[in-house]
Structure 1
Amino acid sequence: MIAAIAQLLFCQLIGEALNRGAGIPLPGPVLGMFLLFVWLKIRPAERVELKAVATWLIGHFAVLFVPATMGLIDEGPALARDGIAILVACVGATLLTIAVTALVFRWVSDRDETAA
């Protein structure tokens, strides 16, 4: 399990290095996920251990949001001033993300049916 966690962190580290060092205009974690994807295509046997780690991380996901939530407590005046705009932006972004995800899922699903 430690090796799989180290692998996830290493992929993110390489992604951050590519973002900052090479100036690739994608966030480091996104580049790291792409690198992890490529690695898993090359070495599919490691999926089992990474799946166990990912399942454990997802099970404890709420704990990862505690620092962000605590940071909001210090931003009381900013939230009082811009809270409604932030809320509208968050809700709008969430709805847009859900809609785009559904459209992409539908497109991939239709494409998969025609290929079969």
Structure 2
Amino acid sequence: MISGLVQILLFQSLGELVSKFVLPTLPGPVIGLVLLIAWLALRKGINPELATVADAFSQYLGLLFVPAAVGVVLFLPQLKANALAIVSALVGSVILTIATSAVLVRFLSSKPTEVDQ
């Protein structure tokens, strides 16, 4: 279990270093996650220690929503004052996401594959 935790912390630290010195616009944990996924893809599998730690973390992911809920309650007056702008931004982003996904799926599905030829 310690080995799996060390692996996760190592890749997060590498991500933080890359974020600090190479790609300051991307968050370090995101870069670390991409590096970890790339490493696991190169190894073509996940070791049992890392799988154990990942399973243990995933059981408690719901706790990550507690700070967000506290923030919503803390800023409730500002949220009420700007409700129209917030709802408009949410609806607009959902529509743009769906439209972008549809265009991307149509573009990718129109490419002929080796099976089609």
Using structure 2 for the length normalisation, give the TM-score: 0.66
Query: Does residue 1:36 correspond to 2:36, yes or no?
Result: yes
Unaligned runs of 5+ in 1: none
Structure 1 stretch 98-107 or stretch 83-92: which is displaced more?
98-107
**1:28-48 deviations in Å (ceiling 9; x for gaps):** 233112211221122223266
Using structure 1 for the length normalisation, give the TM-score: 0.66
User: Is the alpha carbon distance of 1:89 and 1:10 closer, same or farther for their aligned partners in structure 2, counting shifts above 3 Å?
Assistant: farther
How many percent of aligned residue pairs carry the same amino acid?
37
Distance 1:97 1:4 in 2: 35
**Superposed, which structure 2 residues align to 1:25-64 within 5 Å?**
25-46=25-46, 50=50, 53-54=53-54, 57-64=57-64
- Equivalent residue number for residue 90 of structure 1: 90
Structure 1 stretch 53-62 or stretch 20-29: which is displaced more?
53-62
> Cα distance, 1:23 vs. partner?
4.0
The structure whose residues are more often helix, as a share, is 1
Query: Does residue 1:114 correspond to 2:113, yes or no?
Result: yes
> Cα distance, 1:82 vs. partner?
1.4
Unaligned runs of 5+ in 2: none
Distance 1:52 1:105 in 2: 35
- Equivalent residue number for residue 12 of structure 1: 12
Q: Tell me if the contact between 2:3 and 2:50 (Cα under 8 Å) persists in the aligned partners.
A: no
- The alignment yields a C-alpha RMSD, in angstroms, of 3.3
Find runs of 4+ consecutive structure 1 residues off by over 6 angstroms. none
User: Is the alpha carbon distance of 1:79 and 1:55 closer, same or farther for their aligned partners in structure 2, counting shifts above 3 Å?
Assistant: same
> Cα distance, 1:66 vs. partner?
1.3
User: Is the alpha carbon distance of 1:58 and 1:43 closer, same or farther for their aligned partners in structure 2, counting shifts above 3 Å?
Assistant: same
Q: Which amino acid is 2:21 matched to?
A: G
Larger Rg: 2
